[in-house]
Amino acid sequence: MQKYSKVFVILFAMILATTWLTACSTPEPEPAPNPVPAPAPAPNPEPKDEPKVTGEIMLAAAASLQNAFEGELIPLFNEQYPGIKVVSTYDSSGKLQTQIEEGLDAQLFFSAATKQMTALVDGGLIDAGSVVNLLENEVVLITAAGGETNVTGFENITDAGHIAVGDPASVPAGQYAEEILSNLGLWDEIVATASLGTNVTEVLNWVAEGSAEVGVVYMTDAASMPDKVSVIATAPPGTLKTPVVYPVGLQSGLGDKNEAAGLFLDFLQSPEALSVFMAYGFKPL
């Protein structure tokens, strides 16, 4: 028995030794390689501000457009482009044409008739490619609100004691009045005694103040003083063959004012600006 016991002891010792040697000889697992870090995303570039257009431009516009521009359009434009200053001058289109021909540095010309615009285009002072026929107006006969007159239309305008019209030599509204009344066979009789205004606003004010019994202006002018003047009639059909179209165009050779003036011209054709013109009685074309 002792012999077998020794054998078992020896075998057990050998098993333990083998197990220990095996454990010692087993290589430790290699650590997993460190993952290569992903490259950091490139930082987003700082957003760049759009270039801000600055400068000063001049608008030369027909007197009948003054209320729309001063009341709403120029302030609206400046909300979008605060760096652009719009300086404006208003008068009859004929006078503005003459001033531009004599050197008035107006980057935009907004006429109450195509005649004056065409003359400046032909003279090389307005860029033909920029001209847009933007608005249309109507010619009306007015009297003072609450005033008394026997005049019921253009056909019996001679019943008025005092008539006011724009001077046809320079005022488009006067040229339209001459065309209407000439087609009615009344112009020669009227022009001998009528007061000739230097622009349509002057005619409007004469009637509003009562110094003229009736006057010929644009519908938009009458609409600007609804509490002071009343419309008697619009031009009879067939008496005004020349459409009352308002074109606007840019000065030729604008140089460094090209961008600012172009932005203003684009603005005038925008739905926002056209809705303002409509509110003042103009019809967009």
75-85 per-position pLDDT tens digit: 999 999 999 99
Examine the pLDDT at 6 and tell me if it is beyond 80. no
Lowest mean pLDDT segment, chosen from 23-27, 144-148, 236-240, 270-274: 23-27
How many domains in the chain? 2
- Do 126 and 145 share a domain, yes or no? no
Residue 134 DSSP symbol? E
Q: What is the CATH number of the domain that holds 115?
A: 3.40.190.10
Last residue of a domain, one of 197, 213, 234: 234
d(CA 270, CA 26): 84
Residue at 13 is within a domain? no
Domain range for 124: 55-136+245-284
Q: Could you read off the pLDDT of 173-229 as tens digits, one per residue?
A: 999 999 999 999 999 999 999 999 999 999 999 999 999 999 999 999 999 999 999
Nearest in space to 112 (alpha carbons), one of 87, 138, 77: 138
Residue at 39 is within a domain? no
Q: Could you read off the pLDDT of 247-278 as tens digits, one per residue?
A: 999 999 999 999 999 999 999 999 999 999 99
- Do 161 and 98 share a domain, yes or no? no
Residue at 97 is within a domain? yes
Q: What is the mean pLDDT of the chain?
A: 88
Examine the pLDDT at 37 and tell me if it is beyond 80. no
Residue at 215 is within a domain? yes
DSSP for 65-131 reads: GHHHIIIIIHHHHHHH-TTEEEEEEEE-HHHHHHHHHTT---SEEE-SSHHHHHHHHHTTSB-GGG-
Distances (CA, A) of 2 to 7, 8, 11, 147: 9, 10, 14, 151
Examine the pLDDT at 13 and tell me if it is beyond 70. no
Q: Could you read off the pLDDT of 118-141 as tens digits, one per residue?
A: 999 999 999 999 999 999 999 999
- Do 182 and 229 share a domain, yes or no? yes
Strand partners, 87: 58
Q: Could you read off the pLDDT of 146-157 as tens digits, one per residue?
A: 989 999 999 999
What percent of the chain is predicted at pLDDT more than 90? 80
- Do 128 and 147 share a domain, yes or no? no
Residue at 63 is within a domain? yes
- Do 144 and 117 share a domain, yes or no? no
- Do 253 and 273 share a domain, yes or no? yes
Nearest in space to 160 (alpha carbons), one of 202, 112, 122, 213: 213
d(CA 243, CA 246): 9
- Do 63 and 196 share a domain, yes or no? no
Query: What's the pLDDT at 52?
Result: 86
d(CA 176, CA 239): 9
Examine the pLDDT at 60 and tell me if it is beyond 80. yes
Residue at 102 is within a domain? yes
Examine the pLDDT at 35 and tell me if it is beyond 70. no
Q: What is the dihedral of CA 193, 197, 202, 203, to 10 degrees?
A: 50
Q: Which two tokens stand for residue 17?
A: 């030794």
pTM (whole model) above 0.85 = no
3-class SS of residue 25: helix
Query: What's the pLDDT at 41?
Result: 58
Query: What's the pLDDT at 42?
Result: 55
HEC per residue, 194-213: CEEECCHHHHHHHHHHCCCC
- Do 102 and 115 share a domain, yes or no? yes
